[in-house]
Each structure stands twice: as C-alpha cells, then as structure tokens.
C-alpha cells in the first residue's frame, strides 16, 4: 500500500518554525549588510576628521609662515631703503634734515659713541633685527627720529605687521632713544636694568642691560658679575679673597673703605701683597657701585696696574 505525504502530516509547530527561521536568516543578512555599511561610514567619518585636523594644522602653519614672510619682507625693504639712502648720500644730492642729523658727538677716544653710532636701534630694549628693519622701513632711521616718535605712532606701525607684533609694547622706546641720542649711556643702562623686554610695567632691577650686552659683544666693555671685586683694576682673585675675608664683599663696601684700612689688610697678609697700591680702588669701586661704566672704562684705560 502506497503511503502519501501531505501537508496535513507536518506537525503544526513545524509550519510556524520554518517561516521564523527563514525570517531570522533574512534579518541576520540584512543586519550584517547594515553593520558593514555603518562601519564603513564610521571609518570614512574618522578619516575625514583626521584630514580636517591636518588641514587645520596646515592652515595654522601657513598663517605663521605668512607672518614670518611679512617680517622678512620688512627686513628686505629696510635694507633696500638703507641702500637707496646710502646711494643718495654718496651722490651729494640729498641734504640731511635736522631730525636725521647725528646727535652723538664722536669725540676722540669715545669708544662707546663710536661703536653705538646714531642708528644702532637694536641697543634699545625691545628692538631686535626684524623690528629695527620695520622701523627703518617706516622712516624711523636713527635715535633722533625714534626719540621724536610717540608711542601711539609706533603702535600704529606695529599693528600693520600682524598679530605677532601687536603684543609688543613700544612705550619706553622714545625715552631710551632720547638717552642714546644725547650720549647718556650710563643713564640708559640704568633705565634698561629696570625694564622687562622694553616694558615698564614689570620692574626687575636684576635684568640684563641691552646696551651692556652690545658693548660686551663688541669687546668694548668687560663682563662682570654684580659686586665682583676683580672688576677693579689692580685686584686679582687672591686680593679679592683677602678683602672678602675682612668683610669687604661689595663695590659699595669697597668704595666706603679708606685707603689706610685697605693697606692694613694687605700688610697683614704678608710682604707679597704690600706691593699692591690700593690708592684708586675706592674711586673705581664708587664708579662700579653707581653704574658709571663708561667713566670707569676710561679711567681704567689711563691706569697702569691700578696706579694713576
């Protein structure tokens, strides 16, 4: 007898299970496809964000390079202007105005004035090579013209050269230039020691002087630490040690010490020190203590081993 298979013979639960399994497989396939697309979109988004970050960095670098190029261009313009002025001066066709005339008399033996001249604007605290080029490009060619400028005019010039120059404070530049123009170098040194990068709002008495650095680099001024007694002509390391042992540790203390007291210290140290002549030491120390370096330099040049 032949057995016939009919749908009636399929269990009722299997007729429900088959569509469920088919739907489950179809759903898994659709979810897998969607997940792949989602992962790809996330990857593309991450790559786009990374590219955007790189572009932002490149734009920032381009802005910085643009500012640097502007500064270099200002230097080139300043040098070109100097060449043009030099050509005119050698041709004899141009008269120099009073504001551009030299105001520092170059007396014989005046090493400081000879080295500084009238247009070394970089000795001004707050002015570097690029800034000097910018100023000269704008017809501020020497100390006299800088001294005659107002801080507002200088501010307007700086604002033309980008953000990096807007933070610079030129408020003390005319005052410094006036001292340089008049040859008051010791006063300029004392003023610069009270400034911080050319600014007067952050006083710091121990800051280095821009003019002193210039003169030291030029080999005109010797570099001494504060209260270094060896700055006095005639005092070496051993005599310095003797003085310090007796409580004479600063230029001011040495300036206030009598010659007889100093001689007594040397005599007590033995015959080898009695040959030293301290007659000029307090005078030299007074100049050092009061920052009169130009006067001290000239005085020491006239001495012979500390003796007049």
Q: What is the pLDDT of residues 180-198, one digit of tens each?
A: 998 888 888 888 888 765 5
Q: Picking from 100-104, 108-112, 222-226, 303-307, which range would have the lowest pLDDT averaged per residue?
A: 100-104
Token pair in block for residue 159: 């604002």
Model-wide pTM > 0.85: no
Helix axes 151-159, 129-137, angle to 10 degrees: 100
Rounded CA-CA distance 173/28 in Å is 78
Rounded CA-CA distance 246/265 in Å is 8
Mean pLDDT (the chain, rounded): 77
HSE of 82, CA atoms in CB hemisphere, 13 A: 16
- Residue 7's pLDDT band, with cuts at 50, 70 and 90, is low
**8 A C-beta contact, residue 234 and residue 275:** no
- Residue 100's pLDDT band, with cuts at 50, 70 and 90, is very low
Q: Picking from 78-87, 99-108, 147-156, which range would have the lowest pLDDT averaged per residue?
A: 99-108
Sign (positive or negative) of CA dihedral 292, 296, 298, 299 = positive
Residue 70: is its pLDDT beyond 80?
Answer: no
Q: Picking from 57-61, 72-76, 119-123, 187-191, which range would have the lowest pLDDT averaged per residue?
A: 72-76
Dihedral over alpha carbons 89, 99, 74, 167 (to 10 degrees)? 160
Q: 45 φ, ψ to 5°?
A: -65, -45
Instruction: Give the percent of the chain with pLDDT over 90.
Output: 22
Strand-pair partners of 199: 196
């Amino acid at each position: 007898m032949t057995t016939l298979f009919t749908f009636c013979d399929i269990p009722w639960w299997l007729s429900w299970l088959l569509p469920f399994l088919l739907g489950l497989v179809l759903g898994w396939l659709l979810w897998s496809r969607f997940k792949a697309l989602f992962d790809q979109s996330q990857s593309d988004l991450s790559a786009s964000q990374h590219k955007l970050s790189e572009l932002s960095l490149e734009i920032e670098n381009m802005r910085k390079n643009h500012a640097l190029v502007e500064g270099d261009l200002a230097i080139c313009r300043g040098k070109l202007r100097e060449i043009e002025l030099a050509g005119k001066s050698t041709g004899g066709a141009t008269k120099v105005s009073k504001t551009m005339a030299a105001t520092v008399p170059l007396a014989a033996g005046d090493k400081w004035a000879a080295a500084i001249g009238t247009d070394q604007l970089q000795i001004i605290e707050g002015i570097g090579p690029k800034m000097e080029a910018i100023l000269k490009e704008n017809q501020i060619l020497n100390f006299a013209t800088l001294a005659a400028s107002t801080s507002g005019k200088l501010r307007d010039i700086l604002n033309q050269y980008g953000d990096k120059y807007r933070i610079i404070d030129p408020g003390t530049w005319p005052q410094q230039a006036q001292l340089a123009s008049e040859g008051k170098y010791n006063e300029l040194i004392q003023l610069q020691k009270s400034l911080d990068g050319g600014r007067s709002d952050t006083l710091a008495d121990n800051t280095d002087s821009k003019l002193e650095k210039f003169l030291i680099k030029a080999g005109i001024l010797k570099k001494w630490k504060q209260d270094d007694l060896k700055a006095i002509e005639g005092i070496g390391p051993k005599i310095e040690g003797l003085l310090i042992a007796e409580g004479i540790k600063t230029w001011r203390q040495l300036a206030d010490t009598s010659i007889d007291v100093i001689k007594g210290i040397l005599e007590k140290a033995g015959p080898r020190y009695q040959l030293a002549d301290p007659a000029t030491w307090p005078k030299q120390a007074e100049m050092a203590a009061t920052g009169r370096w130009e006067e001290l330099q000239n005085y020491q040049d006239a001495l012979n081993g500390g003796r007049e």
